[in-house]
Structures are given as C-alpha cells and as structure tokens.
Chain A
Amino acid sequence: MFEWVPALGGLSDRVLGPLIRGLHALGISPAQVTWAAFGASVVAAASIATGHVGPGLAFMALGQVLDGVDGGIARQFGLGSRAGQALDDILDRASEAVLFVAFVLAGLVSVKLAALAFAAILLLTTIAHRSKLDPGVKRFALYFGLWVPYPLLFQIIFLVNLAGYVVGLLIIDCQFQLRMDKLGGDLDTVASRAALLEAQGG
C-alpha cells in the first residue's frame, strides 16, 4: 500500500505492529492478507451498492487496514516479492473498481465520472513504480463523502491522479534525459542510443 511512500509505510508498520506480528505468528502470509483486504472491499461495495454507505465505508476502512498489514508483514519478515507486489497492485485496483461500481449502482456518482476516475488511477499505476510518484488520492478520498458530495470527490480523484500521471511522465523523462546527457556523443542520435542502452538494461 505504501510502496511509493516509505516513510508512511514505516509509520503504518508501527501503528499496526501488534496486528502484523499476531497475523504472522498465526502463519498467515502477506498474500492471504491481500486477498482478505480485497474481500473486505467486495463486502464494502455490496453494502454501498445497496444503499448502506456508512457500513460500506467501515468495511472499506477494514480493507485498507488489511492492505497496510500485508505490506507490513512482507517488510518486517522479509517476505516481500515481485509477485506479491503485483498481486497487491492488481487487487488494489480491483478493489477500487468494485467500490466505484458500487457508488454508481447506489446512484451517488455518474458512470462517466467513476470511469474517468478509475482510468486516471490505472494510468498512474502504469508508471508509479518508475516515477515513484503516487499522490495516494484513491479510495481514501471517498471517506470525505460524509461531508463533500461524491461527484466532487470523484472529480478530485480524477484530476489528482491525472496530474500525478503527467508529472510522473515528466519525472521519467528527466531520468531519461540524465541518461542521454551522461551518454553524450552525437546529440542527433543520442535518443536512439540511450533507448538501446536502456533496453539492454544499461
């Protein structure tokens, strides 16, 4: 959950420490917790879709706590893996998908806004591992629905994630520019040479 914000990950590990250690002592793996977090999101979505927004948000919170716990177990006990990270990413996005659909079914937001917000989150996810930039405005923003209209929240989710995507692309471009500047030589061909080098893992 906090892969791109290590400081928040450390804070989350401290707060959730007893739960992390308890679940690990019971032999529960990070992947199992990731699936449990997704399960909580599905229950949350079912509640919201049937008009029970309050309980739905409570289940969503449970899902987010578990989402913090899976990474905590992986970090504290050296169980992190690329496969686990990929599973976490996929189920995080799947959680947002079911929750956004639930808000549409409940009539709280239009299909267009929910789809745009989800598309922006997906775009950001495609580059976040390279740009290391993720504003973290996804499901979390939905808690503010107790005070702010949901259409406005979905607009905020869309715009923040889209802006994060644009800035993230620029960050990756700057990283590539540094690579090209370091490579030097004939500047007329430096992009193709740097691209080839990057493809070879250089």
Chain B
Amino acid sequence: MTIVTHILVTTLGAQAMELHGGELALAYAFGVGVDIDHAVKAPFYLRAIGFKNERDYYWRSSLQEPVALLWILPLCLFLGTLVPALFFIMHVALDYSVRFEKMPFYPYSRWVTRGWLVNVPDKVKEGVVLVIVVALNVALYWSRRGV
C-alpha cells in the first residue's frame, strides 16, 4: 500500500483510540515509520536498477514483516503499551493485501507468499481502502467535535 494509505489508516486508529503524546508518536512510528526500511533498500535499488521506475523491485525487509513481532511484542511489554504491536499489525495487514511477494518469517523461514485477496486488482483494493478510510476519518473527526 502507498504511504498515504498507511498515514490515513494510522490517523484513523489514533483518532479512534484517542491517542496523545508518546503513544501517538508510537502509533505513527509503527504504523508508518517502519517504511523507513525502503531507505535502507534505496542504495540496492540504485545499484541494480538505476533511476528507472521498476515497480516490482523487492523493497521489503523484516522491519515490516510479521517476524518483526518477535521484537515488537517484547518492546510493548517493556513500554507497557500495545500501541506498537496494534499499529504494526495494521501496517502489515494493508501490505499483505497487495500482491507482490513477501517473506513473512525470513530469516527463520524462506516461505514466500503474495498475501490475501490476490485475485482482486491492487488498484481496486487500494482505492476501496482509501475511500473507506478517508470517510471514516472525516466521520470520526466530525463526531468528536460535535459538527
């Protein structure tokens, strides 16, 4: 999913849970910030592809795969909040609705999957999610402010 969708879904979750301060920062760090691994992969992309647009390049890393829960859950216990795990799961759930290859448990397992709803075109899924999330964000915002 695109970064815009991740931001909107995280915003919706943060609004719904009425998060503030440190927990709000954690929500965006684990709901959106985990995409920072694309910056780690950028030098590899430039080396292998150059400045061409290659949509199928493997941009993912374990930072945004389910295997990351192995360190995110202890971190939640340490911080005393489930916010990192919840928003991370939301991020992963969105990514797994796009059909590119993913390795959920690498390096412990080499299993490769394309996620769920693979027969529905990615653009349709992205569009539907975007419309729903924008609508819910606006509705929640208005309802909270009694508009």
Contact = CB atoms under 8 A, between A and B. Distances in A.
Nearest to B112: A192
B47 A192 contact: no
Contacts of B142: none
A170 B40 contact: yes
A181 B107 contact: no
Contact of A162 (B40, B58, B71): B71
Nearest to B54: A187
Interface stretch (B19-27, B72-80, B121-129, B130-138): B72-80
A134 B63 CA distance: 18
B62 interface: yes
Contacts of B67: 169
A187 B62 contact: no
Interface residues on B, range: 20 to 34
Contacts of A177: 41, 44, 58, 61
Interface string A90-119: 000000000000000000000010001001
A120 interface: yes
In order of increasing CB-CB distance, the 5 nearest A-B pairs are A187-B56, A195-B110, A191-B101, A173-B61, A181-B48
B107 A174 contact: no
A38 to B, nearest CB: 26
12 contacts: A116-B77, A123-B74, A159-B78, A169-B62, A169-B67, A173-B40, A173-B62, A176-B107, A177-B44, A187-B58, A191-B101, A192-B101
B101 A170 contact: no
B61 A195 contact: no
Nearest to A163: B71
A191 B101 CA distance: 7
Contacts of B57: 187
B107 A170 contact: no
Contact of B101 (A123, A126, A162, A189): A189
A192 B112 CA distance: 6
A188 B54 CA distance: 10
B133 to A, nearest CB: 27
B74 A191 contact: no
B71 A165 contact: yes
A170 B37 contact: yes
Contact of B107 (A123, A130, A155, A187): A130
A191 B58 contact: yes
A116 B117 CA distance: 37
A167 B61 CA distance: 11
B103 interface: yes
Given A176-B107, A187-B54, 17 more contacts: A116-B74, A123-B71, A155-B78, A159-B78, A162-B74, A165-B71, A170-B40, A172-B62, A172-B106, A173-B61, A178-B44, A186-B56, A187-B56, A188-B56, A188-B100, A188-B101, A195-B106
